[in-house]
Structure 1
Amino acid sequence: MDIEKNLDGEKLTVKIIGRLDTNTSPELTESLKEDLPDVKELILDLSDLLYISSAGLRVILSTQKTMNKQGSMVIRNVQDMVMEVFEATGFTDILTIE
């Protein structure tokens, strides 16, 4: 997995590339911890996310809870396979997906 971050003031865009699973979730968690305290708007770009496991879903849910307290989080460009996981788990009801 690769992570590309673009911080513009209080707006952070994070592009996740590859697989978000048990092995890579801790890396994303640590990467987000670095920047989230100063962020009011978080955009997760999943255009190149090919796979997400339950561990990846936990990271996204935890991040959503954090952003609910300090701003907003939007998920964009979700691939069909990942969207199926979001739909099956009910995440489409709790996440803002564009």
Structure 2
Amino acid sequence: MEKNSMKITITEQNDGMVATIEGRLDTPAAIKAQQEIIPLLENADKTITLNCKNLDYISSSGLRLFLTLRKEAASKGGKVIISNINDEIKKVFMMTGFFNLFEITNS
């Protein structure tokens, strides 16, 4: 995988969906990702877990993408869990208030 690329892998698990996000979720990647997360939006009535173990960077566009998922889940009765964020991403979440908007786990 290129240094600046981003990859989303979506799998069904138990009663929800898991999206593994790797690389840099910068503005160009977020635009591309809007298409890739359509299956998550369609299943927003379930639990969606965003595994960010290998997410190196997130831009404001990337944060907006997470917010879009959260709003869709809230309107359909599902929820979004964010797992395995690194310290850099955690700092961004703290500064933007996102840390309080999502359920964040380390598993």
Is the TM value for this pair above 0.5? yes
User: Aligned AA for 1:17?
Assistant: E
Aligned residues: 98
Question: 4+ residue stretches of structure 1 with deviation over 3 A?
Answer: none
* 2:3 aligned partner: none
Residue 21 (structure 2) pairs with residue 16 (structure 1): yes
- Identity across aligned pairs (percent)? 32
Q: Distance in 2 between matches of 1:87 and 1:35?
A: 25
Q: Distance in 2 between matches of 1:33 and 1:93?
A: 25
Per-residue deviation, 1:10: 4.4
Per-residue deviation, 1:13: 0.2
* CA 38–94 in structure 1, closer or farther in 2 if over 3 Å, else same: closer
* 2:61 aligned partner: 55
CA-to-partner distance for each residue in 1:50-91, whole Å, 9 max, x for gaps?
000111011111111001122111000001100000000010
- Alignment partner of 1:87 out of 81, 90, 94: 94
Instruction: Give the TM-score taking structure 1 as reference length.
Output: 0.92
User: Aligned AA for 2:19?
Assistant: V
* 1:64 aligned partner: 70
- Secondary structure class of the residue paired with 2:103: coil
Structure 2 regions of 5+ residues with no counterpart?
1-5
Deviates more, 1:25-34 or 1:85-94: 25-34
Question: Please, what is the CA RMSD of the aligned residues?
Answer: 1.3
- Secondary structure class of the residue paired with 1:60: helix
* 1:45 aligned partner: 51
- Alignment partner of 2:12 out of 7, 13, 17: 7
Per-residue deviation, 1:9: 6.1
Does the 8 A contact of 1:10 with 1:38 survive in 2? no
Residue 76 (structure 2) pairs with residue 75 (structure 1): no
